[in-house]
Structure 1
Amino acid sequence: MRQRTVLVVDDDESIVELMRDFLANDGFQVITARHAEEAMARFQADGAQCILLDIMMPGQDGFELCRRIRAISGVPILFLSARDDDLHKIRGLGIGGDDYIVKTASPSEIVARVKAALRRAEAPPAYAAPRLLDFGRLQLDLASRDVLADGARVSLTPKEYDILRLLSEHPGQVITYEQLLGQFWEGIGDKHTVRVHIARLREKIELDPDQPRYVANVWGIGYRFEGKPR
């Protein structure tokens, strides 16, 4: 198995050393940075298959660094923060983070969540044969993973695409929060995590995200895809 690289970005030396030890003991190559500019330089020079990213750092914070990385790469980004409030979680997931971990989590849990993010990112497509899901103004090409809205390509993150695909392959069926968490977060997370990703998906595919035509709420339970296949 090829060795995968994790970039750990934190200005706290003790956190960096702790995560370096635990990740290295699990077979990962670890590169580190203490602030955003160093992290960007390391990522561009050395690459990484996953990033553990602190939020509060000197200079540019982790949110802004996430935005910069998302502009050039879909690599999994896991925020590792001392803040446990929903506002920070929602913001982190809303700008493209794949997970949000509070620093009180055990190092073994953090490593497990890194592995889960990598498994999702590296999973092969479920179907090899070309398939097109056509819902009128919204179309999904399952071979190329392209999504078109009114004929224009929509830029989705890998997780946004996978969520949309699961929903659209089961039109009219309720997909629960628990099913989505189990499928895409391996059961780790909460309803806020799912809601943020759904909100971001709606902003990209719906004419009016506040009055969704495709991804409908089933209050307190989950979501239902209401597009009519052609």
Structure 2
Amino acid sequence: MRLLRKTRPTNDPRQRRRILVADDDPSIAQLVKTALRDPRYEVTAVVNGLQAINQFRQTTFDLVILDVMMPYVDGFEACKRIRDTSDVPIIILTSRDGTDDVVHGFELGADDYITKPFKIAELLARVEAILRRVEGRHERLAPPVLDVGEIHIDKPRHLVTLGGRPIALTPMEFELLYFLAANAGQVFDRETLFREVWGYEYVGETNLVDVCVRRLREKIEDEPSKPRRIVTVRGVGYKLADMSE
């Protein structure tokens, strides 16, 4: 089991949130810095994935924003290396919005992605949503430890086991599973999951939900192509089957 460097506690509203941005395009880097020009944030900008990895090893950050196409080490590889040692939230910036890129980003542990060109308001909204989720300002009234069938979830320890066997989940996969488990048997449409799990107040790229569900199924289903735990309710959405029913 790998040991992850946890994100630093950021519940103190007076504490500035440190954000690492890696993009080799100066105009994009400046746009991100402009979007996050706020007393609440302290932005460090680098120009490639290798610099991002080295900077991350030297300083504790609350959020990492990585461009995909960068020299030396691209955003995907940087995401992988950072995720190997930390559960810090990661946003991928990409000019390629194909499903393969989205899936690959999630496989490596990214929490979200934004397609270029993007609006300052969109980036700011997503950054704020992720930080709110991490800071626990919208903690749901659910017990810290949940059991649904063979699935055991220990939220404080960020631990999931299936039949006693540890399951390695990315932070977003964990959040989705915890939410579904806290409401086992209840069906949620994609827009609701997007809002409740990702924390956004508007409906955007809800295909993120489908990608995350697919990845989660690959980890907790005996036959991912014939899921019996995370069930699709045709025309409605998804639910975690209440195995006690």
- TM over 0.5: same fold? yes
1:83 Cα deviation after fit? 2.0
CA contact (8 A) 2:145 2:152 kept: no
Distance 1:99 1:141 in 2: 23
Aligned to 1:163: 176
Are the structure 2 counterparts of residues 112 and 144 from structure 1 closer, same or farther at C-alpha, using a change threshold of 3 Å?
Answer: same
The more displaced of 155-164 and 191-200 is 155-164
CA contact (8 A) 1:133 1:142 kept: no
The more displaced of 2-11 and 94-103 is 94-103
The more displaced of 123-132 and 150-159 is 123-132
Aligned to 1:88: 101
CA root-mean-square deviation: 2.1
Secondary structure of 1:58's counterpart equals coil
Aligned to 2:232: 217
Gaps of 5+ in 1: none
TM-score by length of 2: 0.84
Aligned to 2:147: 133
User: Which residue identity is paired with 2:31?
Assistant: L
Secondary structure of 2:64's counterpart equals strand
Distance 1:197 1:59 in 2: 29
- Equivalent residue pairs, number: 229
Aligned-residue sequence identity (percent) comes to 37
Distance 2:104 2:191 in 1: 22
Gaps of 5+ in 2: 1-13
CA contact (8 A) 1:6 1:31 kept: yes
Is 1:47 equivalent to 2:47 in the alignment?
Answer: no
User: Which residue identity is paired with 2:38?
Assistant: N
Is 1:205 equivalent to 2:229 in the alignment?
Answer: no
CA contact (8 A) 1:83 1:102 kept: yes
1:127 Cα deviation after fit? 5.5
Distance 1:48 1:143 in 2: 21
Q: Which of these residues, 173, 177, 195, is aligned with residue 182 of structure 1?
A: 195
TM-score by length of 1: 0.90
1:157 Cα deviation after fit? 2.4
1:72 Cα deviation after fit? 0.8
Distance 1:29 1:94 in 2: 28
CA contact (8 A) 2:146 2:181 kept: no
Are the structure 2 counterparts of residues 25 and 162 from structure 1 closer, same or farther at C-alpha, using a change threshold of 3 Å?
Answer: closer
Secondary structure of 2:188's counterpart equals strand
